Amino acid sequence: DGGITQSPKYLFRKEGQNVTLSCEQNLNHDAMYWYRQDPGQGLRLIYYSQIVNDFQKGDIAEGYSVSREKKESFPLTVTSAQKNPTAFYLCASQGGRNSPLHFGNGTRLTVT
């Protein structure tokens, strides 16, 4: 079954530590996205990548970094510079322009 895998489902970190969230897809999609979701709010775009070795900032990129060394993988690092990192993080992939996004099941990050 093709899909997107995010791991882990729950992640706990101490303030000041960097943490990397994993996102893997086997849909052969070129485009991948990272969104952040806070309680009662919509999705805000952090970073996106439309092709391997290339990525662009979204609306709230500050304090985050990404890499896209392989088509299948788009890890997100939440750095200590992110002022309010506790949130639900969603990864998605897309097969073509104007195509729907396919989402993973998310990682809930708690920083204390």
Partner 1 sequence: GNSVTQMEGPVTLSEEAFLTINCTYTATGYPSLFWYVQYPGEGLQLLLKATKADDKGSNKGFEATYRKETTSFHLEKGSVQVSDSAVYFCALSEGNQGGKLIFGQGTELSVKP
Binding string, residues 87-106; x marks residues near partner 1 by CB under 8 A: ---x-x-x-xxxxxxxxxxx
Q: Confirm or reject binding of residue 48 to partner 1 (CB under 8 A).
A: yes
Position among 11, 43, 52, 60 found at the interface with partner 1 (CB under 8 A): 43
CB of 16 to partner 1, least distance (A): 28
Strand order in the sheet with 4-7: 4-7, 19-25, 76-78, 64-66
Chain length of the chain: 112
Contact positions vs partner 1 (CB under 8 A): 4, 6, 31, 33, 40-43, 45, 48, 50, 58, 90, 92, 94, 96-106, 108
